[in-house]
Structure formats: structure tokens, C-alpha cells
């Protein structure tokens, strides 16, 4: 069977599935339940000076029959005393010495308080630290969280402070609420970080109740921007992970976060450059036992491909992502409709006619109405295949046009010459 053991910058765990710093890691009781279920590690809910949380705190974006495709929260860091958390960390580590326990930290941007917090948490036996430079709400208004993570110079400075006092690996958790995440990733590397994790939650407002006009969620009729996560953010997270994985100035391991719900999601993160993954929203939706399917699914997938260890997955597709100017302009695909599977709903026709390139025609064949692709004009945009409700009814096939690969960069240089 495939070996799922994970090693993120020296932090080892029996599998690459960690719980992200969030409500599911708020207490020792929860972390022990998670480890009982099989999770390889847990990033403890962020430690610092305890705060007072509000009610209500969570709101979800549902789409038709799909619940919680996105989750918004205005919950802050731990509201429990530091020593209480540290005692529970000791207990969890004693019972599960093979699991990774990471201390997520947040503190005012002063060297002394950071050193003190690091030393106290380190004494509890954590395997590493994760610096929360990403929380976009509440804490950012106090000069912490994303207020730090949006400034590369401050990221570098605080990371260096932590590395001075830390005897275990330091992970920097990056905010996506920035123009170019590589800037802060590079800063974390310069500060001495051993790894980065991404993405933290995205600034958002989930919605407004159009009957009461109250924001959702609301606290006595008012609300605040919150952090957005869940399956809907996965494409954003994948892009940012890959941007950093391909950047030679970053060059440190990545813990992938953002919409991981299944083993298939995890594989995508691995292929694009992540060393392990962290999960939050899926656990809040379905509970700790989802890790059983994640472990079995990943193991079976690796076995089926003859991949013995995670290194055989990590980064294998990361360099298939490039800039648009390098894409082959002569690669051509067109749509083909399987007439035996077609139910004549006309969704493909309407989508192509109204929102794409008018390449699908309604025709009569032996007095039977059919939908046919004009392949001489089809641009291969994929829209018809995407809207078709019948699996494998529309296929995108490559056209053998005999043209050699040519990118926009190559074509432009030829024209200029």
C-alpha cells in the first residue's frame, strides 16, 4: 500500500491531512476526537490574548440543493485562557505523539510579546508554529492578522522575531487579500520561515436578508466583513499555491488550504505544489470522520498509479501552469454531440447562441430535429459541454490541423523581426 506519511519542513505526520486552525481545533476534546478518527495533524485554534466573541458568527452560501458551498465567519481567535489551551495541547501530544500539533499564534507587532508567546507555547510540546498573518476581520482592526499579512516588510520582521525564539519549524499563514501573494511569501522566506500555508479566508459579506434588511449573520442588526472559505474558494487557493510553488524566490514547502473537501481536492493541491493540506469547512459540514474516505481514497489512487509515496505526487503538475503568452495558439479542439445520448433540451444551443460563438445549429435529419456543431466555426470554448445535463453527451475532440505549436510570444517575436 502507498505510504501516506507526510513531512512538511521537518514536521512529520502519519498522513497529509491536517485540521486547519479554526472552530474544529478549539479544544483538546475536539482534537482528540479528530485524532481518534485518523487525522494526521491539527493546527490549534489561534492562541494569543483571549478575546470576547460575538453571536451570531457564521453564515453560509447555499446553491440550490448544495449546502455550504461557501462559509463566512466573523469569529475571532481563541476566547479561552492560554494556560488552559496549553494544558490540553500537552494532553493531546501525550496521547498521540505521532500526530502533528501546530500552535497557531497571533500577537501585537512587538518583539517582546512574540518571544514570550512562542516560548510558552513551545514548552507545551508543539511540533511547529503557524503565524496567523491572514485573519481578515476583527483582529486586523487591532493591528494583527491581515493587517500584518498585507505588508511584506512586517511579515519578514515578525517572522524573524519568531524564528529567533523558536526551536521548532515556523510556518507563515498568508492572506489572500493582497494583489500578489508571492510578495508576502518571499518576505516570509527572507524572515526565516520554514514553510508557508495558504490561503487564509477571503474578505467577504455573505449577504443581506431582503425581508429585514439585516446583514447575514447579524449581531443585533449589524455585522462586519468576515472571512470566506469552503469549496467555492478552492480555485483561488489552487492558483495562489501554484504561484508560490513555481516561484524560485519562495522555495519552501507549502501547506495547502482552501476548499479541501475530498481526497481528489487534496490530490489537486499536491500536484500543483502543496506538501500537505489543511481542512476546516468540510469538517464543520460533515464531521471528523470524513478523513477516513480521504485516507482510503488517496491510498487507493496512489496504488492504482503505482505511486509509493507522496513525493510522487507533489509538484508533478505545477509547471504545466504558465502565462497566457506561452500557450499554443495552434492547438484546436471542437465539440461533438453524441446524437444517441442527446435529449434535445437545447441547453447547448441556447448557451452557444446567446453567450458564445453561434456554432450549434438546429437541423432536420430524416425529419428528426437534431443539434449539430458547425465544426468549421467552433472555437472549442467548452461552454456547450459544461451546460449539457447528460454525462459524456458532448465531447471536446482535438483537430489534427497539421500546424506546429506556436505561442503568442513566438508569433509576436516573428512579426517584430
Average pLDDT per consecutive 10 residues, the chain (417 residues; last block may be shorter): 96 98 97 98 94 90 95 91 98 98 95 97 98 78 78 95 98 96 98 98 94 95 91 98 98 98 98 98 98 98 98 98 96 97 96 97 88 96 98 97 94 74
Closest by alpha carbon to 154, among 188, 118, 179? 188
Specify the pLDDT at position 1: 84
User: Do 82 and 213 fall within a single domain?
Assistant: yes
Closest by alpha carbon to 379, among 334, 341, 313? 334
Q: Cα–Cα distances in Å, from 4 out to 40, 260, 271? A: 10, 17, 15
Specify the pLDDT at position 124: 98
Distance (Å, rounded) from C-alpha 163 to C-alpha 146? Answer: 20
The CATH number linked to 363 is: 3.30.70.20
The last residue of one of the domains, among 305, 320, 335, is 320
User: Do 189 and 330 fall within a single domain?
Assistant: no
Distance (Å, rounded) from C-alpha 134 to C-alpha 239? Answer: 17
Q: Alpha-carbon dihedral of residues 97, 100, 105, 110, nearest 10 degrees?
A: 80
Would you please indicate which residues are annotated as catalytic (active-site) residues? 135
3-state SS class at 182: helix
pLDDT tens-digit map of 360-403: 999 988 888 899 999 999 999 999 999 999 999 999 999 999 99
Residues near 248 by beta carbon (within 8 Å), at least 6 away in sequence: none
Specify the pLDDT at position 49: 87
Instruction: Describe the crossing of helices 152-165 and 181-190 by its angle, rounded to 10 degrees.
Output: 30
Distance (Å, rounded) from C-alpha 268 to C-alpha 41? Answer: 20
Residue 1 lies in a domain: no
User: Do 29 and 89 fall within a single domain?
Assistant: yes
Closest by alpha carbon to 139, among 217, 228, 19, 46? 46
The last residue of one of the domains, among 299, 320, 341, is 320
Distance (Å, rounded) from C-alpha 173 to C-alpha 153? Answer: 15
Domain count, the chain: 2
Specify the pLDDT at position 413: 82
Residues near 10 by beta carbon (within 8 Å), at least 6 away in sequence: 128, 169, 194
Q: Cα–Cα distances in Å, from 361 out to 66, 176, 349? A: 33, 43, 7
Residue 153 lies in a domain: yes
User: Do 99 and 211 fall within a single domain?
Assistant: yes
Specify the pLDDT at position 138: 60
Closest by alpha carbon to 285, among 60, 125, 118, 99? 60
Q: Give me the domain span that covers residue 237.
A: 6-320
- Percent helix, strand, coil in the chain, to 5, is 35, 25, 40
> Are the CB atoms for 259 and 234 separated by under 8 Å?
yes
Amino acid at each position: 500500500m502507498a505510504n501516506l506519511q507526510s513531512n512538511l519542513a521537518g514536521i512529520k505526520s502519519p498522513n497529509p491531512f491536517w485540521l486547519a486552525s479554526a472552530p474544529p481545533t478549539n479544544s483538546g476534546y475536539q482534537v482528540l476526537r479528530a485524532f481518534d478518527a485518523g487525522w494526521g495533524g491539527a493546527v490549534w485554534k489561534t492562541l494569543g490574548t483571549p478575546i470576547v466573541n460575538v453571536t451570531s458568527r457564521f453564515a453560509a452560501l447555499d446553491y440550490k440543493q448544495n449546502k455550504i458551498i461557501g462559509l463566512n465567519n466573523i469569529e475571532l481567535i481563541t476566547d479561552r485562557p492560554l494556560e488552559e489551551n496549553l494544558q490540553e495541547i500537552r494532553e493531546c501530544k501525550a496521547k498521540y505523539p505521532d500526530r502533528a500539533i501546530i500552535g497557531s499564534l497571533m500577537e501585537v507587532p512587538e518583539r517582546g510579546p512574540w518571544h514570550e508567546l512562542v516560548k510558552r507555547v513551545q514548552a507545551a510540546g508543539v511540533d511547529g508554529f503557524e503565524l496567523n498573518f491572514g485573519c481578515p476581520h476583527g483582529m486586523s482592526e487591532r493591528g494583527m492578522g491581515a493587517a500584518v499579512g498585507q505588508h511584506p516588510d512586517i511579515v519578514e520582521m515578525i517572522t524573524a522575531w519568531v524564528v529567533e525564539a523558536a526551536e521548532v519549524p515556523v510556518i507563515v499563514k498568508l492572506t489572500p487579500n493582497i494583489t500578489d501573494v508571492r510578495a508576502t511569501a518571499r518576505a516570509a522566506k527572507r524572515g526565516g520561515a520554514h514553510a508557508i500555508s495558504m490561503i487564509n479566508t477571503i474578505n467577504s459579506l455573505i449577504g443581506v436578508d431582503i425581508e429585514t434588511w439585516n446583514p447575514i449573520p447579524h449581531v443585533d442588526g449589524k455585522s462586519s466583513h468576515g472571512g470566506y472559505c469552503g469549496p467555492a474558494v478552492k480555485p483561488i487557493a489552487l492558483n495562489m499555491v501554484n504561484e508560490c510553488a513555481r516561484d524560485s524566490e519562495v522555495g519552501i514547502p507549502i501547506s495547502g488550504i482552501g476548499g479541501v473537501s475530498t481526497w481528489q481536492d487534496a490530490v489537486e493541491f499536491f500536484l500543483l505544489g502543496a506538501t500537505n493540506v489543511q481542512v476546516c469547512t468540510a469538517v464543520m459540514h460533515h464531521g471528523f470522520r470524513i478523513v477516513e474516505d480521504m485516507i482510503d481514497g488517496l491510498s487507493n489512487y496512489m496504488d492504482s498509479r503505482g505511486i509509493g509515496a507522496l513525493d510522487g505526487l507533489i509538484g508533478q503538475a505545477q509547471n504545466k501552469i504558465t502565462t497566457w503568452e506561452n500557450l499554443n495558439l495552434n492547438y484546436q479542439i471542437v465539440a461533438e454531440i453524441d446524437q444517441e445520448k442527446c435529449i434535445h433540451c437545447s441547453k447547448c444551443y441556447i448557451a452557444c447562441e446567446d453567450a458564445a460563438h453561434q456554432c450549434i445549429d438546429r437541423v432536420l435529419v430524416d425529419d428528426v430535429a437534431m443539434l449539430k456543431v458547425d465544426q468549421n466555426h467552433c472555437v472549442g470554448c467548452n461552454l456547450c459541454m459544461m451546460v449539457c445535463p447528460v454525462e459524456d453527451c458532448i465531447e471536446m475532440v482535438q483537430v489534427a490541423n497539421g500546424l506546429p505549436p506556436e505561442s503568442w510570444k513566438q508569433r509576436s517575436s516573428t512579426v517584430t523581426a
